[in-house]
Structure 1
Amino acid sequence: MIDIRSYARYVSVTVVIGATALLAWALADVLLLAFAGIVFATVLRALADPLHRRLHLSERWSVILVVLVLTAIVAGAAWLFGNQIVQQMGELARRLPEAAQQIMERIERSPLAGTMNDAIERAGESTSGTLKGLTRFATVTLGAVANALLIVFLALYLALEPRRYLKGALRLIPIAGRDNAERALLSAGRALRKWLLGQGIAMLGVGIATGIGLAIAGVPLALALGIVAGLADFVPIIGPIAAAIPGILMGFTVGPDIALYAAIVYLVVQQLEGNLITPLAQRWAVALPPAIALVSVVAFGVLFGILGVLFATPLAVVTMVLVRELYVEDVLESPEGRRAARRAQQAP
């Protein structure tokens, strides 16, 4: 005989889970922005906590001091190097289409020209369409600036009062599960902090090594290309590949041999990153398998666009820790879970 109450409870839980999933899907962009704010708040807290411990400042004033110092560093760097960086970035944006055109002309003169004509024509049509889309580009840029400001202010609020928001989130969870949920969230926060610090070190190393290597190889605009490589390294696997394209294109503006040298520089830097920089930087962080990182980046990129690509990896880190804490350790490896596994093995 069917237990009506149990059946109704299961149906209710299923409906609630389904409705929550649909709501999360509808608000995916907002949730990603919120997660971006959490990521940057984690960075601020990681920098502020040592000041809180060593200088005996309050947590709030530690965060404020970090924000002031970061603002001063950015302003000082902009004053010292801003003009050069802006000029090189502008020159890079101007010369990349020229480099692509030079490659097309070389292809046209090569024996493969006949088989590449269609691709060249499509590229030309794409370039023409891009030039016609300047208004759309401006709109997207304004939207990106607005999102960036939202993320910054959200990060400030979260960094100033993290416990307030943590307690608010825990109140949405049944009392019996709050202790485990708090432990899991704190573990996820620590893992995210360690991953971000390690990734920041890796990005800095990649940017410096790439810039120096390209300058030695004779590639134009090495400073701008080094900055691009360092920033792109935040997205694993796909980011470094995407960052290598403009460097190789700029090498072609000088000659095929310089383009080859540029490719070698990117290859060597990536080998150094994979075998030296990242293992040292992430030795105390959560181990994220490359396959999971790649699938996360591709899946979130397809579903949520550029914002999904940018924050897929830190979200995967947090998800891995939550699954480990709340499912693997609390369910599968709990005493009840072990007893259930033994009973299943002993059953005929």
Structure 2
Amino acid sequence: MSCTATPFFGVFVKATSLVLTADAWRTVRPAVLALDLLESRQRGGTLASSSSVTSFASLPPEVLQVVREQLGAIALANQEDSFVRNFHCPPNSGWRCPRGRRYTTTHFEECDRCCEWFEDDGGFQSLWPQLTLTFQRVEAFLGDFGLCLAQTSAYTTEGFLFGDSAAAAGIALPLHLEGGSLKHPRLPVYEHYGEGEQHEVFSFSPELLDQLSKHGYRFRRLFALFPLEMADISVYKPYLPSCDKSLSLEAAVKEAAEVKQEETEKSDTEEAKPRATTMASQVPNAPTTLREPRWIVWMTTYDSW
């Protein structure tokens, strides 16, 4: 038995949703990048039009964002519908298959026969892009948003991907290791029979931990464009500091009062309040949604028999 630990800063999404989104991205990428370029020139004041009527340069950024969101949503809906129809029951099959004008991957949970045909074709194991051209498309897609896959494998509690509709993929912020090529650390531990305990360690630089919050916009940009299905993993619960938040707030206010008392000649009430507010704002909170990136440690075990 061997084990690999992969710590990453990111989120979990449904593996199927990620693959289909990567394919949808290829169809809208030129249009989205063109909008990004035009908006950049608009903000820089270098976008001009010879027309006397209302031009692109006068459009507010909110309108451009709505256009992007619609492009992404339509492309993903078309991709999902086309994919599901490949395994759809024929109209005259006699199966009571739910009909609709548009289909999403949740249809496999509604129709046993369609799910059967999908699994006969290899199921989610055939869809997941491990070491295939599809994997390269997923990596290229995430790379356009400054992100990457946490692992080449998918997360599953079934022991295998065949028929696991809840299989998840980790989307991570790429990290840099001096002298290394991996975008995120992977720590393998191999079982050596009769040799006792085995240990491996790695460390993160203080600069990394300080700068992570600055890169949350990469995830927000991705989810603003594509409504990816998030993976609600039951064990996906964040750890918080052992100190109680209310106590931390009290400590911040108390320290602000002490500073005021000790430095009365230099500080007034208005200077002490911002200090208390700043310290209170540094108390970490649990992420409120599955779309908020956080530190995750992904453990994978391999049977060596």
State the TM-score, normalizing by the size of structure 2: 0.25
* Greater fraction of residues in strand: 2
* Greater fraction of residues in helix: 1
